[in-house]
Amino acid sequence: MRKEKSIWQGPKVTTYSIALLGILMALHIVISRVGTIRITRDLRFSLVFIVSVIIAYYYGPLWTAAVNGILNIVMFFVFPTGDPFFVGYIISAVLGGFIYGIFLYPHKISIVRAILAVVFVTLIVNLLMNGLWTTLMYKTPFWISLGGRVFKEFVVIIPRIIITYLVLEGMSRLNLESKLN
């Protein structure tokens, strides 16, 4: 059973919590390298969101936002994809982690929370913000870049919700909260 606490509190900073966070960050890097399918320049499908969801579940919105921002910068410089650097994508990563943390952190996992977290990240970050960044970077009309994104997000939203719920349900059974608090 998860202890109810403030959404802003986060776990205690201990050797264990920092080590687990480091392992999750390493997992993020590995999954981003092997668990990503690039469909076009703008469209890719990745399982890396799972790591953000797990971090949000255990660490809350502030830690997840910070980790996502750091990982976005590290990934750009260590494993360049050929895309130019653009701070908007860092903002998207930070906000996506923050949204996951808002919905998942101090609460017992439920399918409703999984749905809300994935839908909000999909609508606000993946569609609107990333569509805007693509428009600004490549001078493509917003509605044209949005068209491909809407199709992709429509196809992957249900699997993301199911994966989010199942992964968190499994993680909740590990009882790591007792070691983090």
Residue 1 lies in a domain: no
CATH of residue 19: 1.10.1760.20
Residue 118: closest CA among 169, 153, 70: 153
Residue 10 lies in a domain: no
How many domains does the chain fold into?
Answer: 1
* Residue 147: per-residue pLDDT: 82
Residue 170 lies in a domain: yes
* Residue 105: per-residue pLDDT: 93
Average pLDDT, 10 consecutive residues per value, the chain (181 residues): 68 91 96 82 80 96 97 93 89 98 92 98 96 90 85 91 96 84 72
Residues 6+ apart with CB under 8 A from 75: 29, 32
Residue 127 lies in a domain: yes
* Residue 43: per-residue pLDDT: 65
Please give the C-alpha separations between residue 51 and each of 39, 47, 131, 136, 167, in angstroms, as whole numbers: 21, 8, 23, 28, 10
Domain with 90, as residue range(s), is 15-180
